[in-house]
Amino acid sequence: MEARLSDRLAAIVDALPLEPGLRVLEIGGAPGAAAVEVARRVGETGHVLVIDRSPAGTAQVRRRATDLIDSGLLSVRCVAIEDFVLGPDEEPYDLAFAIRVGCLDGRHPRLGAAARRRIRDALHPYGRLLIDGGDPLQEIAV
C-alpha cells in the first residue's frame, strides 16, 4: 500500500540521521508510513523494526509493508516500549525514534523511565533516541 507522507512526517524522516545498513527501531510506529520510508533509506543491508502496543496498529503496518516484511527489511512486533526486550538472537539497534509516544514526550511520565531503560538496552552503546518536538526532532538521553 503506497501512501504519501504528510509534510510533517516527511520532515521528521528527512531529519533522521539515516544511512544504508542501519538498524532502526521505530517506537509506536503504526500505521507504518514512516517505517516504510525509513526502510527504503537504510536499504537492503539495513533493517527497521516497528513496535506498537496496538494489535490493530501492527496489523496496519503488516498490510502496508508486506513486500518489505517478506524481503526481511522490516519487521513488526506488538509490544509496548516499556515491555520491549530484544529477542535471543536479535542484534541491537543503531537508532530509535518515536513520534507522539506519550511515555517519551511527557504525556505519561510514570512510564518514561521504564521506556528509556528498555530503549537503552535495545541500542548499541553509541545508539541514539530521537523524538518529535524539536525542529522537528530532539535527541533524548536514554
CATH of residue 95's domain is 3.40.50.150
Give residue 106's domain range: 7-133
Q: What is the pLDDT of residue 106?
A: 84
Is position 2 within any domain?
Answer: no
Residue 19 in domain: yes
Q: What is the pLDDT of residue 2?
A: 52
On whether residue 142 sits in a domain, the answer given is no
For residue 3, the model assigns a pLDDT of: 59
Helices 33-42/7-15 angle, 10° precision: 30
Is residue 138 assigned to a domain?
A: no
Per-residue buried b or exposed e for 55-94, using 16+ beta carbons within 10 Å of the residue's own CB? eebbebbbebbeebbeeebbbbebebbbebeeeeeeeebb
Number of domains the chain contains: 1
pLDDT of 10: 96
Answer yes or no: is 139 within a domain. Answer: no
- Each of the 142 residues of the chain gets a pLDDT tens digit; together they read 455 799 999 999 999 999 999 999 999 999 999 999 999 999 999 999 999 999 999 999 999 999 999 999 999 999 999 999 999 999 999 999 999 998 998 888 889 999 999 999 999 999 999 999 889 999 998 8
Residue 49 lies inside a defined structural domain of this protein: yes
pLDDT confidence of residue 87: 94
E strands present in the chain: 23-27, 47-52, 74-78, 93-98, 123-132, 137-139
Residue 140 covered by a domain: no
What is the structure's pLDDT at 100?
A: 92
78 within domain boundaries: yes
